[in-house]
Copies of this chain bind each other. A is one copy, B any other.
Amino acid sequence: MKVMNVPTDRLKLAKDEFIAQWGALGTQWGINRTMAQIHALLMTSPQVMCTDEVMEELSISRGNAHTNLKELVNWGLIKMIVVKGDRRDFYEAEKDVWQIFTIIARERKRREIEPALAILNRCVAETKDLKSAEAKTFHNQVKDLEEFVSFASKMSDRVAGMKHGFALQLATKLLG
């Protein structure tokens, strides 16, 4: 095996650390460990990678690599790349942080906010005409929640739809 020079070795250590920790974080985020690790790996890889390289690098099975690569493609966080003259599928991560942010925001909205809104709307509608004090408490609370979540949802669209520069400008004003 090739003896690595010091800088490369330190890079490898930092990268492995990053991948491992990002994976652990993923679980906090409701994303599975492997998916987060693959994302970290591809995001910091200067080249596109094929399935076998990912398997090798992370010591995971083919099925696992495949499932999670597909899921990342689904989210839009990575793209499949065809290299001509090569049958293998290669993958490349989106690297622009603002893009990554908008993709994650969109996906979280779809998975977390929209179902919540659906439930809230239904519960508001189902109790609109009830007259008891208890029913009114319930109805009002759910309506407040519904209004807030609906509002948050619109805000999220608005912010994620901005160009990076504009968002930054707005935010700077806000922080200033």
Contact = CB atoms under 8 A, between A and B. Distances in A.
Interface stretch (A54-62, A76-84, A118-126): A118-126
Interface string A1-33: 000000110110111011001100100111000
A130 B115 CA distance: 46
A29 B119 CA distance: 15
A127 B126 CA distance: 58
Given A30-B29, A126-B13, A132-B8, A175 B158 contact: yes
Q: How large is the interface on A (under 10, 10 to 19, 20 to 34, 35 or more residues)?
A: 35 or more
Contacts of A7: 130-132, 135
B95 A25 contact: no
A116 B25 CA distance: 7
A19 to B, nearest CB: 10
Interface string A133-156: 111011001101101100110110
A97 B145 contact: yes
A48 to B, nearest CB: 13
A75 B160 CA distance: 28
B148 A174 contact: no
A163 interface: no
B138 A44 contact: yes
6 contacts: A10-B127, A18-B123, A101-B152, A151-B171, A158-B174, A158-B175
